[in-house]
């Protein structure tokens, strides 16, 4: 592949010297500094040309569907071919984004996109869905990178990426410099970090807010940005409490280099060509050391990503507060363009891929028992399980090893599943390892919600259940999870009725459906403004949220649950899960239909 040669031994060093200040790098001539790749966004041809002319080493882009920025104009097949020719002719690289949750009826299209990427010698493909891992053996020539949508936030996540065959990971924006250094020390996997552009309030790959308020999923590239609009707090104007400042790390490049990072990434596929050119120019100077830090800081202030927002170094220095802009933001530029993928839809598939997808079309899961299962928080579990004995067992989140031991001893007849969190950072790894070991010793299954959780569980031979954090929308993803040792999977809580049925008719791995709950619509490492904590937060369309502490993180959960009980659901579901986390009255909500509730996306088509 067209890739800069990595310096010998780079990124794999003693932890005591992994993080250095910028002074040591500033003393080195620019030609002796470790190579850093500058990776720029391109929402169309004009932005691509601007990025390359300004000095980007690589560009990431998407076709006109199946990528995390569907609102950008993006590229047709012919335009992608032209982009590859242009970049490769200059010794630059093209990375193709296929980083969304794929529905069952999108698998053939995704496979054709991989075929196209192979034919055009695309330098890497960014992914999120396990289905693309299942297709990897059919495209051995393609390099895979785990997208930021895969929620890579610690060294266990990076180790898992290596096991999955990924060459690079895009690290979560919420990581500190020390955490980045630890993640970058994992051998055989490169790390890539965002250094400039917009910040999401929610951890990437964990946001359900756009889907909840309008059926347009950020995990499928259709986010409408509801975190940027004004909200009320207990009925009073509350400004924009979830609108983050913009990230700018131009003055911190040498620290990231010393931490072992391989690539610096700019956010902004929907930004205009002028912004792309200016931002790439700024980072090019920072990487090459051709401007002093003071000049870089001044230039960054002049070229902030979005008018009206302040700049921040984000979480790099372990800063959690003061990261949001509690004012009404200006309207952001939204890309427009055709939404077809051209001949990629009609390209022939390799024989092995045809056979693999054909098997999924004819396979029907045998009828399985449908016991009820409950999901609880650690502080609810003992009280609820004294009064309730769910036939399908109980999933409990927020447990530590000691809490699990007590719960197993108190309720020996109830099958327990210990849930690992939907995102965890390096400081949480040891506790996760202890919980997994305790669960395995006690015969409890482990619900994994990240690939790092899977890595911890597989190492000790735990029984593995896929949770909402690794939820799926297609049967090929289920097959891949089964191949990786999963006993069960969870259907995406965002799925509509048609997508649920299409998946369960073909899935060979037992799959559960969450039929009731108040899912975490946003999970953040940012410290919330004091006025938000405990308040009822509402938008102008009637969505009502409340805050909930989840360890060191904050969650925003809906006041009113969704409830699919009583709806016609596929008989192939292994379990119907009632999620009582955040419930004000768990026993009542277990036994009765909720009064004020929605059906989430069940009755509408998930975008």
Domain holding 407: CATH number?
3.20.20.70
Tokens of 408: 């197993």
pLDDT in tens, 52-87: 999 999 999 999 888 756 666 789 999 999 999 999
**Does some domain include residue 568?**
yes
Confidence of residue 331 (pLDDT cuts 50, 70, 90): very low
**Does some domain include residue 62?**
yes
Tokens of 367: 């009828």
- Is the backbone of residue 514 left (phi > 0), alpha (psi -120 to 50) or beta? beta
Spatial CA neighbour of 594 closest among 583, 605, 606, 581: 583
Q: Check residue 355 and give its pLDDT.
A: 60
Residue 379 per-residue DSSP state: H
Same domain for 375 and 304? no
Confidence of residue 360 (pLDDT cuts 50, 70, 90): low
Question: What is the enclosing helix (H) or strand (E) of 118?
Answer: helix 107-119
Task: Assess whether pLDDT exceeds 70 at residue 27.
Answer: no
CA dist 169 and 161 (Å) reads: 7
Q: Which residues contact 311 (CB under 8 A, 6 or more apart)?
A: 245, 246, 247, 248, 300, 301, 304
Tokens of 322: 């003061």
Spatial CA neighbour of 94 closest among 69, 72, 68, 62: 62
**Does some domain include residue 214?**
no
**Does some domain include residue 223?**
no
Q: Assign residue 262 the CATH number of its domain.
A: 3.20.20.110
Torsion of CA 247, 251, 252, 257, to 10 degrees: 120
Task: Assess whether pLDDT exceeds 90 at residue 118.
Answer: yes
Tokens of 63: 């076709």
pLDDT in tens, 249-261: 999 999 999 999 9
Same domain for 394 and 257? no
Residue 586 belongs to domain spanning: 363-518+560-591
Backbone angles phi, psi at 455, to 5 degrees: -60, -45
Tokens of 453: 């959780």
- Percent of the chain, pLDDT > 90? 79
Spatial CA neighbour of 239 closest among 327, 330, 324: 327
CA dist 415 and 445 (Å) reads: 8
Same domain for 372 and 476? yes
Same domain for 368 and 310? no
Domains: count for the chain: 2
**Does some domain include residue 204?**
no
Same domain for 86 and 159? yes
Q: Is the torsion defined by CA of 205, 207, 212, 215 positive or negative?
A: negative
Q: Check residue 67 and give its pLDDT.
A: 74
Task: Assess whether pLDDT exceeds 50 at residue 368.
Answer: no
Task: Assess whether pLDDT exceeds 50 at residue 516.
Answer: yes
**Does some domain include residue 5?**
no
Of 314, 342, 373, the one marking the end of a domain is 314
More confident residue, 372 or 440: 440
Same domain for 407 and 295? no
Confidence of residue 345 (pLDDT cuts 50, 70, 90): very low
Q: Check residue 367 and give its pLDDT.
A: 42
Distances (CA, A) of 279 to 53, 59, 196, 552: 12, 13, 8, 33
Same domain for 181 and 310? yes
| Mean pLDDT in residue range 102-112 | 97
**Does some domain include residue 127?**
yes
| Mean pLDDT in residue range 338-360 | 51
Same domain for 291 and 374? no
Over the chain, what is the mean pLDDT?
89
Confidence of residue 318 (pLDDT cuts 50, 70, 90): very high
Name the H helices within 334-375.
351-362
CA dist 458 and 479 (Å) reads: 17
More confident residue, 385 or 363: 385
**Does some domain include residue 474?**
yes
More confident residue, 91 or 31: 91
Residue with tokens 């597989």: 458
Q: What is the pTM of this model?
A: 0.89
Same domain for 176 and 307? yes
Same domain for 373 and 261? no
Q: By CB neighbour count within 10 A (0-12 exposed, 13-18 middle, 19+ buried), where does 41 fall? A: buried
| Mean pLDDT in residue range 173-195 | 99
Same domain for 290 and 421? no
Residue 468 DSSP SS3:
helix
Same domain for 434 and 371? yes
Q: Which residues contact 568 (CB under 8 A, 6 or more apart)?
A: 497
């Amino acid at each position: 592949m067209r890739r800069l040669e990595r310096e010998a031994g780079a990124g794999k060093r003693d932890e005591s010297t992994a993080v250095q200040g910028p002074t040591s790098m500033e003393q080195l001539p620019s030609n002796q500094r470790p190579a850093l790749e500058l990776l720029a966004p391109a929402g169309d041809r004009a932005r691509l040309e601007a990025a390359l002319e300004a000095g980007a080493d690589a560009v990431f882009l998407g076709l006109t569907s199946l990528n995390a920025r569907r609102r950008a104009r993006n590229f047709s097949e012919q335009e992608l071919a032209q982009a590859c020719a242009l970049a490769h002719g200059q010794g630059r690289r093209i990375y193709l984004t296929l980083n969304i949750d794929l529905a069952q009826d999108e698998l053939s299209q995704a496979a054709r996109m991989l075929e196209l990427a192979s034919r055009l010698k695309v330098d890497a493909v960014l992914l999120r869905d396990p289905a693309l891992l299942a297709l990897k053996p059919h495209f051995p020539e393609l390099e895979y990178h785990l997208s930021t949508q895969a929620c890579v936030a610690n060294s266990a996540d990076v180790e898992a990426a290596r096991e999955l065959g990924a060459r690079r990971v895009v690290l979560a924006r919420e990581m500190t410099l020390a955490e980045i250094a630890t993640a970058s020390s994992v051998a055989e996997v490169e790390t890539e970090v965002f250094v400039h552009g917009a910040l999401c309030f929610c951890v990437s790959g964990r946001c359900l807010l756009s889907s909840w308020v309008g059926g347009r999923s950020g995990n499928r590239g259709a986010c409408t940005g509801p975190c940027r609009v004004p909200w009320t707090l207990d009925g009073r104007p509350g400004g924009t409490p979830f609108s983050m400042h913009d990230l700018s790390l131009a003055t911190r490049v040498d620290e990231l280099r010393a931490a072992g990072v391989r690539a610096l990434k700019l956010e902004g596929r929907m930004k205009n060509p002028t912004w792309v050119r200016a931002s790439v120019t700024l980072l090019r100077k920072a990487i090459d050391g051709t401007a002093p830090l003071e000049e870089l800081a001044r230039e960054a202030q002049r070229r902030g990503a979005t008018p009206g927002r302040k700049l921040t170094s984000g979480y790099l220095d372990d800063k959690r507060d003061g990261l949001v802009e509690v004012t009404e933001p200006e309207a952001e530029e939204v890309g427009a363009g055709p939404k077809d993928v051209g001949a990629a839809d009609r390209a022939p598939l390799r024989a092995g891929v045809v056979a693999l997808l054909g098997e999924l079309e004819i396979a029907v899961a045998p009828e399985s028992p449908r016991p009820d299962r409950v999901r609880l928080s650690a502080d609810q579990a003992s009280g609820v399980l004294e009064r309730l004995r769910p036939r399908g067992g109980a999933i409990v989140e927020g447990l530590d090893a000691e809490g699990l031991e007590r719960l197993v001893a108190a309720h020996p007849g109830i099958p327990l599943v210990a849930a690992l969190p939907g995102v965890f950072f390096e400081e949480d790894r040891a506790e996760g390892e202890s919980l997994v070991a305790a669960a395995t010793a006690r015969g409890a299954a482990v619900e994994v919600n990240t690939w790092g959780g899977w890595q911890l569980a597989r190492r000790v031979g735990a029984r593995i259940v896929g949770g909402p954090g690794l939820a799926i929308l297609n049967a090929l993803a289920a097959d891949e999870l089964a191949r990786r040792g999963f006993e069960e999977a969870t259907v995406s809580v965002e799925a509509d009725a048609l997508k649920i049925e299409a998946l369960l008719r073909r899935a060979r791995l037992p799959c559960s459906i969450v039929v009731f709950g108040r899912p975490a619509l946003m999970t953040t490492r940012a410290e919330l403004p004091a006025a938000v904590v405990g308040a009822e937060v509402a938008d102008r369309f009637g969505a009502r949220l409340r805050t909930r502490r989840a360890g060191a993180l904050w969650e925003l959960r809906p006041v009113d649950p969704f409830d699919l009980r009583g709806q016609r659901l596929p008989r192939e579901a292994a379990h119907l899960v009632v999620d009582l986390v955040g419930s004000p009255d768990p026993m009542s909500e277990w036994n009765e239909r909720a009064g004020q509730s929605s059906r989430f996306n069940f009755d509408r088509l998930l975008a």
